[in-house]
Amino acid sequence: MDLFEKCYAPSLQAEIREKGIYPYFHALESRQDTEVIMEGKRRIMLGSNNYLGLTTCPEVIEAGIKALEKLGTGCSGSRFLNGTLGMHLELEAELADFLGKGDAMTFSTGFQSNLGIISAIARLGDYILCDKEAHASIYDACRLSFARTYTFNHNDMADLERLLVSLQGKNGGILIVTDGVFSMSGDIANIPEIVRLAKKYGARTMIDDAHGLGVLGNGGRGTADYFGLADEVDIFMGTFSKSLASLGGYMAASKEVIDYVRHSSRPFIFSASIPPANCACALAALRHLRAHPELPKRLMSLSNHLREALISRGVKIISSDTPVVPIYTYEVFETLEAAKEIYERGVYLNPALPPATPEHEALLRTSCMATHTEALLDEAAEIISSVLKERVYLKESKND
């Protein structure tokens, strides 16, 4: 068999390209903002994870420019050797303080953060219990770790306890890992019950809070803080590419755990460090968040406004308490056709398809920023609802 045979086989991407409903790689021609120019036309941006809108914050931009001018374009090496800047240490110290942990460490990307943390902490002979709807990077990290991995049904605490009971008496440590906020549905993990079960059965806990930092908790401190359980969760992981308007990721935990991972994590040791400008932007964004704790509240108010605007127009959504507002569309091709029409009328959103969603549960994923306005969200809701209503009418007409 030719190694490249799989590349020439029929595929979903080829089929949807042929149908003219391919939704990916639209070219952005302006800043990542509430309104963007994409492929020559104004679009309302409802498909970004720029939750606090800080990619256009003057303080954040200025910090990146100054770092680029002072420190150059890159570090040319790993943190382990020549790639540590004083600014990296500053960022880690401020993250640890903000999250209430003993220490923190940074990684070059969010995806790499999960690879680096989980593969170092969980080894051959250990066990990982992972929510079935966890991010792809968690699944890949579990494979890299060589630990035996089991998945529990999404947010199903009875299923998690069943797995914990089955591991009692076995050698090896147990890590329970979950997203804090699930990126497609906007669901919030049941952290109180996860913490309770972890204590009961002697497991450790880790939250991927990529979509929770800057969104939930006191001043945006994340999902565990939202439940008042920041001290009870062992490891926080997060990214700078969402609320902190940059690129990279982090781990926050006790000093001993961080020191162990720093000296054991191959994805950390053998990767170049975050470039100066990215580091400076993340640090400036974190400081801006700390200085403006009202931002997450404004974000939540706008998210509730979008939910109400869609519901009042008859759009069926998945209810959540986060900036992620998913719209039911169910089938793949209907979802892609609707996404294309909405895009052409001036709103960018993300079609979410299996395996990112369960079969027959494809979604149109929308998300808010703290810098949106109610008027802009109303305009977007009107476009979305009109397209979806027309599509239902067209579908019914075809069936008549």
d(CA 194, CA 203): 10
What tokens does 278 get?
């990215």
Tell me how far the alpha carbon of residue 126 is from its chain's centroid.
26
pLDDT score at 241: 97
Catalytic residue numbers read 183, 211, 242
Residues 113 and 236 sit within 8 Å (Cβ to Cβ): no
pLDDT score at 391: 83
What tokens does 139 get?
């699944």
pLDDT score at 358: 84
Buried b / exposed e over 329-362, threshold 16 CB at 10 Å, is beebebbbbbbbbbbebebbbbbbbeebbeeebb
Bridge-based pairing state of the strands 235-239 and 204-208: parallel
pLDDT score at 393: 55
Bridge-based pairing state of the strands 249-253 and 235-239: antiparallel
What tokens does 145 get?
């770790």
What tokens does 10 get?
């029929």
- Blockwise average pLDDT, block size 10, the chain, 400 residues: 95 95 96 97 97 98 98 95 97 98 97 97 97 96 96 98 97 97 95 98 98 98 98 98 98 98 97 97 98 98 98 93 95 95 98 88 96 98 96 58
pLDDT score at 359: 87
pLDDT score at 299: 98
Q: Which domains does the chain have, with CATH numbers?
A: 5-55+293-399 (3.90.1150.10), 57-291 (3.40.640.10)
Amino acid at residue number 103: D
Q: Could you give the angle at the alpha carbon of 111 between the alpha carbons of 57 and 177, nearest 5°?
A: 110
pLDDT score at 355: 86
What tokens does 217 get?
């908790």
